[in-house]
A and B are shown apart, each in its own frame.
Chain A
Amino acid sequence: MLAFLARRIIIAIPTVILISIFVFSLQHLLPGDPILVMAGEERDPDVIAALREKYRFNDPIPMQYLAWAGNALQGDLGISLRTQQPVLELIGEKLPVTIQLAVMALIIAILIGIPAGVLSAYKKGTWIDWVANIIALSGLSVPNFWLGIMLILLVSVKLGWLPASGYMPLTEDPLQSIRVMIMPAFVLGTAIAATLMRHTRSAMLSVLKSDYVRTARAKGLKERVVLIKHALRNALVPVVTVITLLFGELLAGAVLTEQIFTIPGFGKLVVDAVFNRDYAVVQGIVLCTGIAFIFMNILADAAYRILNPRMSQ
């Protein structure tokens, strides 16, 4: 497994380089001269010249890239034009918020989607299956923002159980942090839960017909053991792949959900950076997201191998 992880990380390096080239070219592809934006209203030629020198805009483009990548490797992703904060610091501030939201949403989705999928496959054709499918279908068709607003109205405004917005760092007050985040995570998790439920159900249906499940029953194992140890374990193999594919949806959904619940996360950072042409921040965000995707894929492959011993040889 360690050798596998090492191999996967080495294979990922060219991908990271490609992403970084793309991110670097953003600066040149996007309309507008970033130096002019940086120089401010006066456009003092001396300042512009100094900035061009500082950011090596006079060098050939490959040299510029190398300089930029060298800085990035050392954690210097530039300075936000808007807040004058280092980009890495900004991202380091906002990313944990979004990660917490995404992870909580994924946990909620897994806790709802997988048991519901197992149950509806096991009880195929009964009312339990019907109810699970109808709920899943509504989970898929109800837009996130609508569900979010309805929940705020019901749970926060009417019942006053949970705050409608805000954020508390996990490190400061874990309980309160989870309390604040649970409703947005639920909103973000429902669509994912529905997708997971559908995939778990169909994977379980085919696994339950398999010969080895019949063998497990022929051994006299309890139904619970047959379902979880013998059937679900195999059904999870395709479901894990689906979870990886859902990661993009999860991030995109997080951006939207953060807007609804006014959570100061990555999503807000993205929106602010794009609207303010804060190039360095946009670059940093794209780079971090790309690397996060690669990381998630490696994790999913590792899980896939653990579940599927045929892959491990």
Chain B
Amino acid sequence: MTESQPLLDVSGLSIRVAGANRPLVDDVSFTLNSGETLCIVGESGCGKSLTALALMGLLDGTPLRIEGGTAMFQETDLLSASQSTLRSLRGDRIAMIFQEPMTSLNPALRIGDQIAEAVREHRGVSHEAGRARALEMLERVRIPAAESRLDEYPHQLSGGMRQRVMIAMALANDPALLIADEPTTALDVTIQAQILDLMRNLGRETGAAQIMITHDLGVVAEMADKVAVMYAGRIVEAGSTEQIFDDPQHPYTLGLMSSMPSLSGKSQRLVTIPGTVPSPQDMPIGCRFAARCPFADAACDAPPPLVDLNDGHRVACWHAPIENAGIAPGWKETA
């Protein structure tokens, strides 16, 4: 733990659809230091993307409202800042790449222009300088024959190449923070590994802190310094990568671990957690994992607070540390 101010300090972030009775993202808190990579992991629909979009100030124009919390980024509260302040940070100090490389680039504009545009917007440089920077970035993300790619359109590139372009675009202004929302989910396995490699190397080279959103613990193991596990809009467990992988404490994290082939040992069989995530309408007031949790009891009707077990390892479970609960989890195996 560093004593100095963290780069990003998110506290109590809650997001709700206007008029809904439960928030979709509820009281999410985490911190991130310069150069660190935080992985936010959780099943689809648990609020990972909403969290990222809220930090970017990109929820405008949707029915989603930020209901509370702060997100201090270098003296600015991202959650209460004006759109013009956010606009000057976006694509400059904080950049984001998205899950769908096939649709995230503008089909009508040339690759080079799309990268250079971000540079010109924030640095006010000339057309030529923007283009030179675009070329430099394409080379850095290891796009072959970068010079000739500048004037190509997105449809001329493969998915993996497009995601490289997105990375080049995001890093063009040397951001302090890069948010990557499932950047490899839509790609083939071999391409996934290449993109993750690239992101790790570029992260090291540029010193940019990264928030890597994923539902894949394999990605977490590859990339993370820190992990936050989300379930149904809440962080249920957070800590360093060692803490989470070596000593998982939340029953949901345990379930995720045993559903990972390489970590669950011998077989390639996937273990799935029985049951489904409660829908936002009938979200329980108490622990949101209770319906699927083998340890659940009467205590779990109240919402468990996220408490620090030791040295930054935070868990939201009434029965943590789980060793003391004395019951073996009964995850079922599926073929």
Binding site for B on A (CB under 8 A): 208, 210-212, 214-222, 225, 229-230, 233-234, 237, 307-310, 313
Can you name 14 extra interface pairs (CB under 8 A) apart from A211-B103, A234-B106? A212-B106, A215-B104, A215-B166, A216-B106, A218-B90, A218-B96, A219-B118, A219-B169, A221-B117, A221-B118, A230-B109, A234-B107, A307-B108, A309-B155
B90 pairs with A220, CB closer than 8 A: yes
B88 pairs with A220, CB closer than 8 A: yes
CB distance from A126 to the nearest CB of B (A): 12
Binding site for A on B (CB under 8 A): 56, 58, 61, 87-92, 95-96, 98, 100, 103-109, 117-118, 121-122, 153, 155-156, 166, 169
A212 pairs with B103, CB closer than 8 A: yes
B61: A residues at CB distance < 8 A: 208
B100: nearest residue on chain A (CB-CB)? A211
B155: A residues at CB distance < 8 A: 309-310
A-B contact list, 26 entries, CB within 8 Å: A208-B61, A211-B98, A211-B100, A212-B103, A215-B105, A215-B106, A215-B166, A218-B98, A219-B91, A219-B118, A219-B121, A220-B87, A220-B88, A220-B91, A220-B121, A221-B87, A221-B91, A221-B118, A222-B121, A229-B109, A233-B106, A237-B108, A308-B107, A308-B108, A309-B153, A310-B155
Tally the A-B contacts, defined by beta carbons under 8 Å.
74
One of B88, B91, B100 near A218 (C-beta < 8 A):
B91
Given A214-B58, A218-B58, also A234-B117 (CB < 8 A): no
B87: nearest residue on chain A (CB-CB)? A220
Bound complex: CA A47 to CA B105 (Å) = 74
One of B58, B91, B107, B117 near A212 (C-beta < 8 A):
B107
B90: A residues at CB distance < 8 A: 217-220
Given A234-B106, A309-B107, A309-B108, also A220-B153 (CB < 8 A): no
B95: nearest residue on chain A (CB-CB)? A218
Bound complex: CA A43 to CA B105 (Å) = 75
Given A217-B58, A219-B117, A220-B92, also A230-B87 (CB < 8 A): no
B119: nearest residue on chain A (CB-CB)? A219
- Which of A212, A216, A308: most chain B CB closer than 10 A? A212
Bound complex: CA A241 to CA B46 (Å) = 42
B107: A residues at CB distance < 8 A: 212, 234, 308-310
A233: nearest residue on chain B (CB-CB)? B108
A215: nearest residue on chain B (CB-CB)? B104
B86: nearest residue on chain A (CB-CB)? A220
CB distance from A183 to the nearest CB of B (A): 37
